[in-house]
Amino acid sequence: DTLTHFDSMGQAHMVDVGDKHSTHRIAVATGAIYMSARAFEHLQPNVNKKGDVLGIARIAAIGGTKQTAQLIPLCHPLALTRVAVEFELDEINLSVRIEVTAETVGRTGVEMEALTGVSVGLLTIYDMLKAVDKGMRIQDIQLQAKSGGRSGKWVRDSAS
Residues labelled as active-site residues: 127
Which residue's CB is nearer to its own copies, number 96 or number 115?
A: 115
Distance CA 48, CA 61 (A): 24
Query: Considering the rule CB under 8 A, would residue 40 count as an interface residue with its own copies?
Result: no
Phi, psi of 107 (to 5 degrees): -100, -5
Distance CA 61, CA 66 (A): 9
Which residue's CB is nearer to its own copies, number 91 or number 142?
A: 142
| Type and span of the H or E element at 60 | helix 53-66
Query: Considering the rule CB under 8 A, would residue 159 count as an interface residue with its own copies?
Result: no
Of 28, 58, 98, 110, the one binding its own copies (CB under 8 A) is: 58
Round to the nearest angstrom and report the end-to-end CA distance of the chain. Answer: 23
Of 28, 62, 96, 98, the one binding its own copies (CB under 8 A) is: 62
The answer to whether 121 and 110 have CB atoms below 8 angstroms apart is no
Query: Considering the rule CB under 8 A, would residue 142 count as an interface residue with its own copies?
Result: yes
Query: Considering the rule CB under 8 A, would residue 94 count as an interface residue with its own copies?
Result: no
String marking each residue 111-130 x if it binds its own copies according to CB under 8 A: xx--xx--xx-xxx-xxxxx
The answer to whether 136 and 33 have CB atoms below 8 angstroms apart is yes
Which residue's CB is nearer to its own copies, number 91 or number 130?
A: 130
Which residue's CB is nearer to its own copies, number 77 or number 92?
A: 77
Nearest CA among 36, 29, 38 for reference residue 68: 29
Of 135, 150, 152, 158, the one binding its own copies (CB under 8 A) is: 135
